[in-house]
Amino acid sequence: MSSVNPQSNRLKNIRKKVVVAVLLGGITSTPSWAQGDNDMQQAVVEALQANQQSSSSVEQPSVTADSDQQPVLAQDPLAVEQAQEAQQSPVNVDDKDWIVIAHRGASGYLPEHTLAAAALAHGLGADYLEQDVQLSRDGVPVVLHDLTLGAVSNVADVFPERTRPDGKYYVLDFSVAELKQLRLHDRIDESTGDMRWPNRFDGSAVNFRIATLAEHLALLNGLNKTRDMRTGAYVEIKNAAWYRNQGFDVTAATMAALSRAGYLEPKGSPSPLYLQSFDPEVLRRLLREYHVNAPTVQLIGENEWNEADVDYSAMRSAAGLEALSNTVSAVGVWLPHVLKGVDENGQPQFTDLVKAAHRAGLRVHVYTARADQLPSGTPDYPTLIKWLQQAGVDGVFTDFPGNRVPAKLAAIGRASDAEQHEPDAAHDDTDVDQLPAGAQVDRSKPLR
């Protein structure tokens, strides 16, 4: 019976560990943990040279003293590698071939991100409930999609004077106690006051309130217990760079809330968990600082959306997806990144993204399927889901979790198909409130 020499295994993996440490840890010279080890030092030199050559033609973003981009020069690369490998076989995820992610809860039926919408999504059998995280003035993670409150609450009635110079009401300018004084309603177009989806339940006559991330997780785990289920949490860390410029750390606050709820335990969490962000630096930080073993998801949009200072077009390439596989388990992509449209026979036309992602070992989750806003040429919502499964997609964010979509909403989706997806009407999909104050608004951006 042969035995395995730990030293031999260590030497065998030196190059892999060092490459990970250089790429994720910001190493620019031989660190202390490599001193006195000739093999390790040589691997560091080679990795640094390769990294310098590959990045010499790319302008690198500056790193400020309070930036998320903090190097871990003194950290042994083994810890980083273990976190990276956890992305390939995470312990806090199910093994289903297809998952349904309730997009902001059952937001097609009840106002988004309310506890009621989350409870309904759980009852409808969603595999995961999504929680978008913003911060209150007292640093508490709350579950809201936008940086601002005007599109989903009565903030203008309750606190009419609390705007910034741009005229908007920012979540960060209110304490949790103040936020809980507001009523939530279905999303409106702030310029007109009209409902974004007119045939949904507006919720204005019901006392829907803002809830914290801790409250959403407590509800999820309570329902899992009473219903004997394992519905998961799908948490998005939002606008990290903007919060950093305001003197807040949304990543740390989110991770602290997850830790208190038991989601960062090495052997697993109360329920499955995904962590997602449009900002790749947030996801790299989760590996190098928090060593997460929950799967992480790189959200990919269009460059014009101003989500982060990265090239999303390059991310969607085969090479970009291969590079992402070093740090994440999955990608979350916009529906048109997978479904190009239909041919003259009404058959779906797909891009190569799903195949390329799968070759790189990445799952693909698509946003956002809506029965009342179908892609052009799609006859109905069940067909849209069938097409996504046909494309090989691993999961979908949907406003309508469950097996049955009301015929009325499906009919609305078909009737409004042309007007919602013509280029001249694309501005109707823009989520202005997701952008930081002063950022250019791109009118082709969807309301994710």
What is the pLDDT tens value at each position of the chain, 448 positions in all? Answer: 444 444 444 444 555 455 545 554 455 666 654 566 666 677 667 666 655 654 444 333 333 334 344 333 334 555 555 555 555 555 445 567 899 999 999 999 999 999 999 999 999 999 999 999 999 999 999 999 999 999 999 999 999 999 999 999 999 999 999 999 999 999 999 999 999 999 999 999 999 999 999 999 999 999 999 999 999 999 999 999 999 999 999 999 999 999 999 999 877 789 999 999 999 999 999 999 999 999 999 999 999 999 999 999 999 999 999 999 999 999 999 999 999 999 999 999 999 999 999 999 999 999 999 999 999 999 999 999 999 999 999 999 999 998 777 666 666 666 554 333 333 222 233 343 444 444 443 434 555 6
pTM for the model stands at 0.77
The three-state secondary structure class of 130 is: strand
Tokens for 374, please give them: 């179908």
Q: What is the DSSP letter of 36?
A: T
* CATH 3.20.20.190 segments of the chain: 99-434
Query: For the domain bounded by 99-434, which CATH number is listed?
Result: 3.20.20.190
DSSP3 helix / strand / coil % (the chain, rounded to 5): 40, 15, 50
The three-state secondary structure class of 84 is: helix
Question: Which residues are part of the catalytic machinery?
Answer: 103, 145
Please report, for residues 41, 50, 231, 241, 425, the alpha-carbon distance to residue 274 in angstroms, rounded to integers and kept in the order given.
36, 32, 12, 21, 33
- Name residue 103's amino acid: H
Distance CA 75, CA 20 (A): 12
